[in-house]
Each structure stands twice: as C-alpha cells, then as structure tokens.
Homo-oligomer: A and B are copies of this chain.
Amino acid sequence: MHRTKVRIVEDALDANNTIASANRADFDRAGVKVVNFMSAPGAGKTTLLERVVADLPGLRVGVLEGDVEGSMDADRLAGLHIPVTQLNTSAGFGGECHLDANMVRSAIPSLPLDEIDLLLVENVGNLVCPAEFRIGEDSRVMVTAVTEGEDKPLKYPLMFRACELVIVNKIDLLPHLDFDLEKLLYNIDAVHPDVETIMLSARTGQGIDAWRDWLLRIPARAPEEAIA
C-alpha cells in the first residue's frame, strides 16, 4: 500500500513538471524572468514586494498573487502602478495550500508578458507544499521571519532547500525576542549549505538594497532538465 501511495505522488509531481516546462517555454519566448516567492503566512512577502517593485531600474515588473481567498495583497500592490494578477485557490473546500504549474498556466493568458521583464509570483503562505511544485520559474526565494523561531529549517527542510535565496526578515525585532540568529543560520546551512542569505527588516529598510540588487541580477537559472 505504502509503495502505491508514493508512486501516485511521484506521478502527480511528474505531470506538474511537464506543465512547468511548458510555462517556462512561454516565459522564455516573452523574455520574462520569473521568481517564485514563498514563506509561512505573515513572514512579510507582500511588504518585501512593496518595498522594491517600483524601484528596479531597467526592469518592468509584474506580480502574480496567489491566495486562498481575497485580493488584499493584490490591492496593496496595485497602488504601486504595476500590473498585478490575482490567482485564488479556493475552488475546493478550504482551498489549495500552494500554487502548482497548472494554476499558473491558467493565469498566463491574463499576464501582460509583453509589457514586463520580471514576474514575481507570491505563493500561498505555507512552508510545506509550495516547495514541492515547480511553476516554471527561473528562481525561488523563501522568506523566514525571526519571530518564527530558529528551528524552522530543520522542521521544513525541503522549503529551505528548494530555493536560491533565503531572506531572514523582521530582524528589527531581535532585541525583543529570545532568538539566536547564529543558530538559525547554522540550521539553514545544515539543510542547504552555502545558500545565499539576506538579513532584512522591511520596517527599518535594513537589507532592502541587497534584496533589490539580488532581483536585478537573478542568478543564471538551472538547465531545463533541472525542472524534472
């Protein structure tokens, strides 16, 4: 029984990767780089987008907002005069807890690919499933807030592995927490050695420049076969 279950999961992920490759081909044709932006609920993804999207010289930015319900984040970002597309996952009871390649595919006709150079995809707030589903992105970024504790890399290792950048957010709160930043960095390194990290406070602005610079030089993406 157990073996059967695993095979079904692998089949579903294989189908996802097929669609992710098709998405990537579409993005490539349009010359659009795509970043998949992930975190737990409330780690500060939307604020981190707000702080940089209007100030990326030479890059025309669009945002695809993934949420179970509502369009609050999209409404916040729309005020910045960039194209924002909302993708809701609430078709099923309770909604899907992640974006997958097929959901993103369904949004492609609504995306102004000819008018942007960079598409930032804000995934559903969740440290488990979003890491399992490629969407056709060039790069993956995850945000962990220091308020979440030092143990998160060890409890959700795939999320910390399945990214090219880890942003450690809310560091302005460190003086008010029983939190050991060195321990967090040690745990991140344990599950994803040498991954790039940025210490950041969206509130004070510390680290925002490094985040903006990272977006301006998104790492050369992995070869096509890395998706599958």
Contacts and interface: CB of A to CB of B under 8 A. Distances in A.
Interface of A: 2, 5-6, 9-10, 13, 40-42, 67-70, 72, 91-97, 124-129, 131-132, 145, 147-149, 151-152, 154-158, 170, 172-173, 176-178, 203
Given A41-B127, A41-B152, A126-B128, 7 more contacts: A40-B42, A42-B147, A94-B132, A97-B126, A147-B147, A147-B173, A173-B177
Contacts of A131: 94
A166 to B, nearest CB: 14
A155 B41 contact: yes
Nearest to A158: B94
**Copies of this chain per assembly:** 2
Pairs of residues from A and B, 8 with the lowest C-beta to C-beta distance, nearest first? A42-B148, A97-B128, A147-B147, A94-B132, A9-B92, A40-B41, A94-B158, A42-B149
A35 B131 CA distance: 29
A82 to B, nearest CB: 20
A173 to B, nearest CB: 6
A132 B68 CA distance: 13
A49 to B, nearest CB: 14
23 contacts: A6-B92, A6-B93, A40-B40, A40-B42, A41-B155, A41-B156, A42-B149, A68-B155, A68-B158, A69-B154, A69-B157, A72-B155, A94-B129, A94-B131, A95-B128, A95-B158, A96-B128, A125-B155, A125-B156, A126-B128, A147-B147, A147-B173, A173-B173
